[in-house]
Amino acid sequence: MFDQACITNWVSVKVPEAKDRRELWLGRFPLAHAFTLVLAARRRPKIAALPAYPSNKTQQEQERWILAETWQLQSTTFTDLDKSKVDVDKECLWIVEERMFERSAAAGKAGHFQWGLDKGTHQEKWDPWERLPPHWNHGDGDGSESELEVGRKFIDTEDVKVPQKRPASPPKRSIHPRPVKRRKTRTEC
């Protein structure tokens, strides 16, 4: 998917007038052909290793066969993707959480249980690292015990009394103008 987004962006930026005329190529054969060419170039060794590869044919026929196989691979992959629903928000949240809570050299100090050490414990003693997948711990981080010391402004939530919410005040009555009764005058009688 990332490659497809990169190819789409490249076509939009590099091809003259492509940005203004997206309806002609976006989601259509020109873009699908570009995807096929990139996929064929990347997977050439794997496709050429297939038993049905025509190794005894000319180079042009081999190229056609590779493109046909790539097109077949691409069309079956996309139809399979269409059948399964993907929750993009959930995937993005998963990636963000992994970046925030992974324990690795790439994460540095932040990957060594740093959340909350500056201000205080989380609400109800929530531990962000409690149920993380094991593959988020890369084991290459070099954290020290001194990094786990709490900050000067650290507050332990057991000592803090959280005020209860006040009940909502009753809604204020709006004052509506009342009609004034007219007195009958002597001339009206």
Residues 6+ apart with CB under 8 A from 18: 11, 12, 25
Do 44 and 111 have their domain in common? Answer: no
Number of domains comprising the chain: 2
Read off the pLDDT of each residue in 42-49 and give the average, rounded to a whole number.
Answer: 85
Same domain, 42 and 117: no
Residue finishing a domain among 42, 69, 84: 84
Distance CA(96)–CA(107), nearest Å, equals 13
Which residues constitute the domain of residue 145?
89-159
Does residue 189 lie within any of the structural domains?
no
In a domain, residue 173? The reply is: no
pLDDT tens digits, 53-111: 888 888 888 888 988 888 888 777 655 444 456 677 788 888 888 877 787 777 776 66
For residue 185, tell me if it sits in a domain. Answer: no
Average pLDDT, the chain: 76
In a domain, residue 187? The reply is no
Q: What is the pLDDT of residue 84?
A: 54
- Assess whether 133 and 65 both reside in one domain: no
Q: What's the confidence (pLDDT) of residue 157? A: 65
106-140, pLDDT tens digit by residue?
777 666 666 666 667 777 777 777 788 888 777 77
